[in-house]
Homo-oligomer: A and B are copies of this chain.
Amino acid sequence: MEKIDDHKYCFGVDIGGTTVKLGMFDALGDVLSKWEIKTRTENNGANIISDVCDSIKKKMGEKNIDPKDVMGVGVGAPGPVRKDGTIFGAVNLGWGVINMKKEFESLLNMPVVAGNDANVAALGEMWKGGGKGYDNLILVTLGTGVGGGIIIDEKILTGAKGAGGEIGHIHINDEESEACGCGNKGCLEQYASATGIARLARKRLEASDKDSILRGKEINAKTVFDAVKAGDPLAMEVAEEFGNYLGKGIAAISCVTNPDVVVIGGGVSKAGSVIIDYIKKYYVKYAFHASVETEFALATLDNDAGIFGAAKMALDNYYEKKESE
């Protein structure tokens, strides 16, 4: 990765359920252009890949880029993606099993690398975001669900079936009576996602008559953490519970991977450093001593983490091939 090919370009693509984000980068990873197209999920998402390829070709035309100067294209998509580029279904796109790499390559005639969107975002945060400067990272994405990506020695941990980093479904509570979306009971996602935080708050509001500024308000992760910042005791109890479950979960992941840094992203992380305070308080309680001093940081790339990580995959693939030639 020492040599940089100047005057060369790569593309990063992040396919989501409503929009596809695209980025054109130079060989150093600077964004030269960033745009979006609609994700056409009709007909089982049959048009998505050709739409993306058309959009890349159009951009190359506009910018007068010769195909031989494109180092490659990286693509992230919402489903388990194996090393060979096969995605094993993507419900949000209407896809079944597709070899993304092959389909993109046949339309683009350029080298393509594919990965799971959360894993690709983790690579982006390592490269240019909250985990910059580190080789071993855990990205925890607190959104509607809890997603994640694990980076080991600067590479995505893909897993045997492309399901590495599915940390939202670590079993964390034996006492849970409600089922998670996955069918199990007591998954991390049930307590640490935006939905999970709102659920914890609603339960506490119902279980007591305690005064709270949350009463009568819309309950979501934002209103809960706003109330925490305002010093609301009930909201602070919810934050402790959230921190306990998530700190315990991250401590377990750290026993497995011994990371340099844990990066917290997703909508919930918009609450800022207060999130990390509550997580770290419990992380240090449960962590093995070798990992107890692991850094914590907030994600910084927001919705662009995916295109950055995808571009990084394309660059790594280019330089690896070049080295082995």
Contact = CB atoms under 8 A, between A and B. Distances in A.
A252 B171 contact: yes
Contact of A182 (B165, B253, B289): B289
A163 B288 contact: yes
A169 B254 CA distance: 10
A258 B182 contact: no
A166 B290 contact: yes
Contact of A184 (B150, B259, B288, B294): B288
Contacts of A80: 290
A1 interface: no
A169 B251 CA distance: 9
A226 interface: no
Contact of A135 (B150, B160, B170, B289): B160
A161 interface: yes
Interface in A242-257: 248, 251-253, 255-257
A209 interface: no
A260 interface: yes
Contacts of A161: 258, 290-291
Given A159-B258, A182-B288, A324-B323, A252 B164 contact: no
Interface in A44-62: none
B324 A166 contact: no
A275 to B, nearest CB: 21
A255 B167 contact: yes
A157 interface: yes
A183 interface: yes
Nearest to A259: B160
A170 B172 CA distance: 11
Contact of A251 (B83, B171, B253, B288): B171
Contacts of A251: 170-171
A252 B323 contact: no
A278 interface: no
17 contacts: A135-B160, A136-B159, A159-B290, A160-B259, A161-B258, A162-B258, A163-B290, A164-B256, A166-B255, A166-B258, A166-B288, A170-B256, A184-B285, A253-B256, A256-B256, A256-B257, A323-B324
Interface of A: 80, 83, 134-136, 150, 152-153, 157-167, 169-171, 174, 182-184, 248, 251-253, 255-260, 285-286, 288-291, 294, 323-324
Given A158-B258, A164-B256, A166-B291, 18 more contacts: A83-B153, A136-B159, A150-B256, A152-B152, A159-B257, A160-B258, A160-B259, A160-B294, A162-B258, A163-B288, A164-B257, A166-B258, A166-B288, A167-B256, A170-B251, A171-B251, A182-B288, A184-B286
